[in-house]
A and B are shown apart, each in its own frame.
Chain A
Amino acid sequence: MQPIIEIRGLKKTYASGFQALKGVDLDIRRGEILALLGPNGAGKTTLISIVCGIVRATAGSVTVDGHDILRDWRAARSLIGLVPQELTTEAFESVWATVSFSRGLFGKPPNPVVIERILKDLSLWDKRDTKVMALSGGMKRRVLIAKALSHEPRILFLDEPTAGVDVELRRGMWEMIGRLRESGVTIILTTHYIEEAEEMADSIGVISGGRIVLVEQKAALMEKLGKRLLTLQLQNPLDAIPAELADFPLTLSEGGRELVYRFDTQNERTGIAGLLRKLGDHGINYTNLRTEESSLEEIFVSLVRERA
């Protein structure tokens, strides 16, 4: 199936001379949740802003569902909803008015039924007549989401949707994003909360220094780059790794009370069975064992460091 967004050779140099994007190629699959991870200043917001038409690219092209964002801008933009990073809202309007305004702006006829459903989904229905400035930060964030959804977009960009949002609300937002995905909306979110990407995303894109470092299915990424550790708690501490076990990548920790075995999840034969057999043969007894998987965060940090 054709990707819903195709980005080719996208470059952006700001007037200050700062090169925010240094040639980005990216395909976003229809109906998936793509998490764009990257440190501050990596180019996440610039990338989103170009696709949404807020920033002009210096070079390169973007198509949205086959529509070029410059030549066929109306069709491209009609498909997109954007939730910006900053809490930028009108102050004096009611929630209802500001959300209805957004729907009109994106070329849709007024439809109170749709607005009502969106406000109810976001728990804003009770606040529909309240002025936006009287809302809490979390509610303002939801108003921004409601505005972005008001014209029933096929693609939703969420620029750091949960920055500064409390844990409970964050959970609620994740659920809402999950529901949107089920209804077929393609979602692109930027975040530096790895937890968020790990929880929700189908694909992970890592952007650093204006370049896409990688894009992978989340599961494949964790599989490919993940290291696992097997830790054995020994009955009797060891001073050194016995010569018989030199073939295995082992280290001692906790003053010799723990034996740590590092293995790659990519290998089909992890060697765990062989190691345990050898330990038994040499009379090294253990009282407990546990395995750990590296988290996305560790993967991310190692990736960004590699590029730096």
Chain B
Amino acid sequence: MNLHAIKAIYIFELARTWRTLFQSIAGPVISTSLYFIVFGAAIGGRFASVEGVSYGAFLVPGLVMMSVLTESVSNASFGIYMPRYSGTIYELLSAPVSAFETVIGYVGAAATKSVILGTLILLTARLFVDFSIAHPFWMIAFLMLTSVTFSLLGFILGIWADGWEKLQIVPMLIVTPLAFLGGSFYSISMLPPFWQKITLFNPVVYLVSGFRWSFYGAADVPVALSLAITGLLLMICLAVVWWIFRTGYKLKN
């Protein structure tokens, strides 16, 4: 196990975050604040409480999840796409570093950033609304699991993309819509029965529902199912990454 390499990649990737601290952190924090002002304060005031909590508090887990999803994907995809684009990937490919170590370094750094981001959004949200966390252990577990899973997805995207356009189109056309329609802003019980069924095909529903359960103890779907779906997504992403390195897909001629 080349621990020095994992450490080098991890530190190098996190350094990128520090360098671009303002964009990396300020952007999502500001947009979260805007969501709270618009949905929480302006519109939410007209809503009755959802599943026993105020709409503002109901929003918190969904907003955290949404930012963590999109930022994990974009951050991890950028992290591995950049060296491919600039050509510096030659060094990684010629180094005594295994696929596993590479993934731990890159995905670990991206996931770390997402967890920090999620925590910051929670702290920001606390300024706007009062909320409690019923199951802190599961809250952290869901946050970390989601960060890792979607950072893996981003890593796959960064290897698959062969242009900046492709790099942006997946978050824009797939991840953001799934996050929006995944119950970040509403409980799926608020949907007509037909759409409730359709929505169950959206994996984000399970992530948001499970995460929200860790706050308020109420969920759209059983929490065990949330955990299982999240675990399944993680396994799928791991399998794809494993396949990429085994075949050298888009990495080696």
A interface residues with partner B (beta carbon < 8 Å): 14-15, 49, 52-56, 73-75, 77-78, 80, 82, 84, 86, 88-93, 97, 100-110, 147
A103→B2 CA distance, assembly (Å): 12
- B98 neighbours in A (Cβ, 8 Å): 74
Known contacts being A105-B8, A107-B5, A109-B4, is A92 close to B19, with CB within 8 Å?
yes
The B contact surface, by secondary structure, is helix
Flag B221-253 by CB within 8 Å of A: 1 or 0 each.
000000000000000000000000000100011
Flag B35-50 by CB within 8 Å of A: 1 or 0 each.
0000000000000000
Query: Are B91 and A102 in touch, CB under 8 angstroms?
Result: yes
Q: Does B132 contact A (CB under 8 A)?
A: no
Q: Does B175 contact A (CB under 8 A)?
A: no
Query: Are A88 and B96 in touch, CB under 8 angstroms?
Result: no
A141→B28 CA distance, assembly (Å): 38
Query: Are A106 and B86 in touch, CB under 8 angstroms?
Result: no
A273→B162 CA distance, assembly (Å): 69
Nearest-CB residue, chain B, relative to A94: B15
Q: What's the nearest-Cβ distance from chain A to residue B18, in Å?
A: 11
Which B1-37 residues have C-beta < 8 A from chain A? 2, 4-5, 7-9, 11-12, 15-16, 19
- Of B8, B11, B94, B253, which is within 8 A of A82 by CB? B94
Query: Are B87 and A108 in touch, CB under 8 angstroms?
Result: no
A52→B93 CA distance, assembly (Å): 8
Query: Are A105 and B86 in touch, CB under 8 angstroms?
Result: no
Q: What's the nearest-Cβ distance from chain B to residue A240, in Å?
A: 61
- Of B4, B11, B12, B90, which is within 8 A of A88 by CB? B90
- A147 neighbours in B (Cβ, 8 Å): 91
Which B80-132 residues have C-beta < 8 A from chain A? 83, 86-88, 90-98
Nearest-CB residue, chain A, relative to B248: A56
Query: Are B7 and A73 in touch, CB under 8 angstroms?
Result: no
In the complex, which range does the number of interface residues on chain B fall in? Answer: 20 to 34
- Of B15, B88, B94, which is within 8 A of A53 by CB? B94
- Of A54, A91, A104, which is within 8 A of B7 by CB? A104
- A88 neighbours in B (Cβ, 8 Å): 86-88, 90
A100→B8 CA distance, assembly (Å): 8
A298→B5 CA distance, assembly (Å): 46
A75→B248 CA distance, assembly (Å): 20
Query: Are A90 and B88 in touch, CB under 8 angstroms?
Result: yes
Query: Are A105 and B9 in touch, CB under 8 angstroms?
Result: yes
Known contacts being A56-B248, A88-B86, A91-B86, is A101 close to B253, with CB within 8 Å?
no
A242→B90 CA distance, assembly (Å): 65
Query: Are B96 and A78 in touch, CB under 8 angstroms?
Result: yes
- B15 neighbours in A (Cβ, 8 Å): 93, 97
Q: What's the nearest-Cβ distance from chain B to residue A187, in Å?
A: 16
- Can you give 12 A-B contacts (C-beta < 8 A)? A14-B253, A55-B253, A74-B96, A88-B87, A88-B88, A89-B86, A101-B12, A103-B8, A104-B5, A105-B8, A105-B91, A109-B4
- A55 neighbours in B (Cβ, 8 Å): 252-253
Q: What's the nearest-Cβ distance from chain B to residue A159, in Å?
A: 10
Q: What's the nearest-Cβ distance from chain B to residue A152, in Å?
A: 13
Q: What's the nearest-Cβ distance from chain A to residue B69, in Å?
A: 26
Q: What's the nearest-Cβ distance from chain B to residue A259, in Å?
A: 56
A76→B11 CA distance, assembly (Å): 25
- Of B2, B7, B252, which is within 8 A of A56 by CB? B252
Query: Are A97 and B94 in touch, CB under 8 angstroms?
Result: no
10 A-B pairs besides A84-B90, A97-B12, A110-B4 with CB distance below 8 A are A49-B253, A52-B93, A54-B94, A55-B252, A90-B88, A97-B15, A102-B91, A104-B9, A107-B4, A107-B95
Known contacts being A89-B88, A105-B5, is A77 close to B96, with CB within 8 Å?
yes
- A89 neighbours in B (Cβ, 8 Å): 86, 88
- B19 neighbours in A (Cβ, 8 Å): 92
Q: What's the nearest-Cβ distance from chain B to residue A11, in Å?
A: 13
- Of B4, B83, B86, B90, which is within 8 A of A104 by CB? B4
Nearest-CB residue, chain B, relative to A106: B95
Q: What's the nearest-Cβ distance from chain B to residue A60, in Å?
A: 15
Nearest-CB residue, chain A, relative to B7: A104
Query: Are B96 and A52 in touch, CB under 8 angstroms?
Result: no
Query: Are B86 and A90 in touch, CB under 8 angstroms?
Result: yes
Q: What's the nearest-Cβ distance from chain A to residue B93, in Å?
A: 5
Nearest-CB residue, chain B, relative to A81: B94
- Of A15, A80, A106, which is within 8 A of B253 by CB? A15
